Amino acid sequence: MDFLNRKIELQQLELFLRNEKPSFIVIYGRRRCGKSRLIQQVLQKGDIYYQADRQESTIQREQLVQTISEYLGIQYDATFRNWDSLFIDLNRILKPNQTLAIDEFPYILKNDPALPSLIQRLIDGHKLKYNLIICGSAQNAMSEMVQNGHEPLYGRADAILKIRPLAPGWIQEGLQLSPEESIREYAIWGGIPRYWELRNIYKDLATALYHLVFSRDAILLEEPMRLLLDDLRSAVQPYTILTMIGQGVHRPSEIAGRLEKSLPGLSDSFQKLIELGFIRREIPFGESIRSSKRTLYKISDPFMSFYFRFVLPNKQRIEMGLGEQVLRQVLLQLDDYVAGEWEYLCRMALPFLEIKGKQWDISSRWWGTGKNGKEIEIDGIALSNDKTHILFSEAKWSQKPDPIHAARQLNNSIDNCKKFTEAAIVKVLFNRMEAKDLGDLIQVLPADVLRVLK
SS3 per residue for 326-354: HHHHHHHHHHHHHHHHHHHHHHHHHHHCC
Nearest to 276 by CA among 340, 311, 232: 232
Alpha-carbon span 120 to 349, nearest angstrom: 42
Helix (H, G, I), strand (E, B) or coil at 134: strand
- Cβ atoms of 102 and 67 closer than 8 Å: no
Element at 304 (helix H, strand E): helix 302-306
Predicted confidence at residue 437, as pLDDT, reads: 80
Nearest to 23 by CA among 92, 106, 100: 100
- Cβ atoms of 304 and 245 closer than 8 Å: no
Alpha helices in 129-200 (DSSP H): 139-147, 170-175, 179-189, 193-200
- Cβ atoms of 104 and 136 closer than 8 Å: yes
Residue 428, beta-bridge partner list: 393, 442
- Cβ atoms of 79 and 111 closer than 8 Å: no
Alpha helices in 54-114 (DSSP H): 57-72, 83-93, 105-111
Predicted confidence at residue 160, as pLDDT, reads: 96
- Cα 202 to Cα 208, 310, 407, distances in angstroms: 5, 20, 40
The set of residues, in sequence order, having a beta carbon less than 8 Å from that of 410 and lying 6+ positions away, is 378, 392, 393, 394, 427, 429, 441
The set of residues, in sequence order, having a beta carbon less than 8 Å from that of 43 and lying 6+ positions away, is 49, 99, 101
Alpha-carbon span 278 to 261, nearest angstrom: 21
Residue 146: CB atoms within 10 Å: 19
Nearest to 405 by CA among 375, 373, 429: 429
Element at 282 (helix H, strand E): strand 279-282
Alpha-carbon span 280 to 155, nearest angstrom: 30
DSSP 160: E
One digit per residue, the tens of pLDDT, for the chain of length 454 reads 788 889 999 999 999 998 889 999 999 999 999 999 999 999 999 999 999 999 999 999 999 999 999 999 888 888 899 999 999 999 999 988 899 999 999 999 998 999 999 999 999 999 999 999 999 999 988 999 999 999 999 999 999 999 999 999 999 999 999 999 999 999 999 999 999 999 999 999 999 999 999 999 999 999 999 999 999 988 999 999 999 999 999 999 999 999 999 999 999 999 999 999 999 999 999 998 888 889 999 999 999 999 999 999 999 999 999 999 999 999 999 999 999 999 999 999 999 999 999 999 999 999 999 888 889 999 999 999 999 999 999 999 988 878 788 888 899 999 999 889 999 999 999 999 998 888 889 999 999 999 999 9
- Cβ atoms of 23 and 130 closer than 8 Å: no
pTM of the prediction? Answer: 0.92
Predicted confidence at residue 439, as pLDDT, reads: 84
Predicted confidence at residue 107, as pLDDT, reads: 93
Its sign, for the CA torsion 19, 20, 26, 32, is positive
The set of residues, in sequence order, having a beta carbon less than 8 Å from that of 295 and lying 6+ positions away, is 251, 252, 281, 282, 283
- Cβ atoms of 170 and 63 closer than 8 Å: no
Helix (H, G, I), strand (E, B) or coil at 131: strand
Alpha-carbon span 367 to 283, nearest angstrom: 9
- Cβ atoms of 186 and 340 closer than 8 Å: no
